[in-house]
Amino acid sequence: MTAPTPPSFTTQLVHSDRHFGVEHGGVHKPIHTSVQYGFDKVEDLIGVFQGTLKGGYNYARQGTPTTAALEAKLTKMEQGVGCVSFATGMAAITALFMTLLRAGDHIVSSKFVFGNTNSLLGTMSDLGVQVSKVDATAVAHVEAALQPNTRLVFVETLANPGTQIPDLEAIGALCKAKGILFVVDNTILSPHLFRPATVGAGLVIHSLTKTIAGHGNALGGAVIDTGLFDWSCYPNIAQAYRTGDARQWGLVQIRKKGLRDMGATLSAQHAHLISTGAETLTLRLAQTSATALALAQFLEQHPAVAKVHYPMLPSHPQHAIAKKHFKAGSWLMSFELRDTSRCNEVINRLKLPIAATGLADNRSLIIPVAPTIFWEAGAAVRADMRIDDGLIRLSVGLEECADLVADFEQAL
């Protein structure tokens, strides 16, 4: 006898709200705007503060029923054991670093990371955390950087904007062997295309603003615990949080110190927008990934284009990892023109992709990388992160593929 097949990703997603027992039979979790939560018996209020009354709320900075519903969805999507949501992706990363690291600790980070994450790593270094930035496409570089005080290894599954892919499986195995926390920013791919738990990640980060929300109308971030890391071995967990199920210790500290005390709480309104946006995740990714691949193939053979960075092209240096682990290549690509002096002209000639920063909107967005999002970083950092002056980033939207190809054809 075969075991019954569990409902698929989207099937679970679109039915998850009503299984929480939504008031009045609503099929969506409503937007709870209340800041205060009152109780008939003061003992229940005390129970919420002391953590003995499960599922209770006291003050909206620490979460609402609306953020809790989104957190439950995200936990399911990554098949983890818990989630804490934040106002933005950067708030999630900041809370994680600030609550899990102390002065004198060391971390190893991929050098191919989101620009503001790279800038935050500089702040962490100013605060006394040693940071080694390595080319994580080869596990040997990560291993060579490890020190006795290394607390975590940080990578992005598909780096923005260069599309580099870390040696995910080998880094996961290395972290497991050494008992080091493996933190993976899975913003671009989302759990539909890849689940970092499959390569041993302990914590997964999302900027919900991008792939998961999808519509360019809400900011949000999240940290999800996969349940794979043994927090009882992690030195920086405060004594107060070393009680109960050890699999929850990390997230409890991130929620208390990183959300309650630092205060970058996701609003109920945005949690709701992200929740409904997430329902069409698989449909959006199927369309944008197919379009991005066709467009990448078109650009790669075009005489005006020098180079295309897209993981599902056989020319991509980590194509084998992408083929093995990712369901599709996503909507993110970048490319370089042969004549880089034509960069602005070509972008201005495009009628569909909008010259704008931001990612994973339903509309295609295009941006020259060096003079904008990586301008403040300076030439030396750009060279180290392999961001050439002519690199153009494209976030592929839901426009029909033929329309985009025709637009690029006329612009080039």
Least gap, CB of 103 to ligand PLP (angstroms): 24
CA separation for the pair 160, 393 (Å, rounded): 9
Least gap, CB of 261 to ligand PLP (angstroms): 19
Smaller CB separation from ligand PLP, 212 or 312: 212
Smaller CB separation from ligand PLP, 89 or 162: 89
Least gap, CB of 248 to ligand PLP (angstroms): 24
- Hey, how many other C-beta atoms are within 10 angstroms of the C-beta on 7? 11
Integer CA distances (angstroms), 363 to 89, 239, 251, 392, 404, in order:
21, 48, 35, 17, 11
Least gap, CB of 323 to ligand PLP (angstroms): 21
Structure-token pair, residue 99: 């609550």
Longest dimension (CA), the chain: 74
Residues that bind ligand PLP (CB under 6 A): 88-90, 114, 117, 156, 160, 185, 187-188, 207, 209-210, 219, 221, 359
Smaller CB separation from ligand PLP, 115 or 390: 115
Which of 108, 106, 64 is closest to 87 using CA atoms?
Answer: 64
Q: Please calculate the CA angle 308-356-159 and round it to the nearest 5 degrees.
A: 45
Smaller CB separation from ligand PLP, 167 or 185: 185
Least gap, CB of 152 to ligand PLP (angstroms): 16
Smaller CB separation from ligand PLP, 105 or 156: 156
**Which residue's beta carbon is nearest to the bound ligand PLP?**
89
Smaller CB separation from ligand PLP, 187 or 287: 187
Least gap, CB of 126 to ligand PLP (angstroms): 20
Residue 10 in 3-state DSSP? helix
Smaller CB separation from ligand PLP, 216 or 298: 216
CA separation for the pair 230, 202 (Å, rounded): 9
Least gap, CB of 246 to ligand PLP (angstroms): 28
CA separation for the pair 408, 259 (Å, rounded): 44
Smaller CB separation from ligand PLP, 163 or 207: 207
- Hey, how many other C-beta atoms are within 10 angstroms of the C-beta on 392? 24
Least gap, CB of 236 to ligand PLP (angstroms): 23
CA separation for the pair 63, 268 (Å, rounded): 9
- In the block, residue with structure tokens 């970048």: 334
Least gap, CB of 115 to ligand PLP (angstroms): 9
Angle between helices 268-278 and 65-77 (to 10 degrees): 30
What separation, in Å, do the N-terminal and C-terminal C-alpha atoms of the chain show? 58
Smaller CB separation from ligand PLP, 85 or 346: 85
CA separation for the pair 6, 329 (Å, rounded): 25
Buried b / exposed e over 288-305, threshold 16 CB at 10 Å, is bbebbbebbebbbebeeb
Structure-token pair, residue 35: 């800041």
CA separation for the pair 185, 28 (Å, rounded): 28
Least gap, CB of 201 to ligand PLP (angstroms): 14
Residue 293 in 3-state DSSP? helix
CA separation for the pair 62, 258 (Å, rounded): 10
Smaller CB separation from ligand PLP, 166 or 408: 166
Integer CA distances (angstroms), 4 to 7, 8, 9, 63, 370, in order:
9, 12, 15, 35, 51
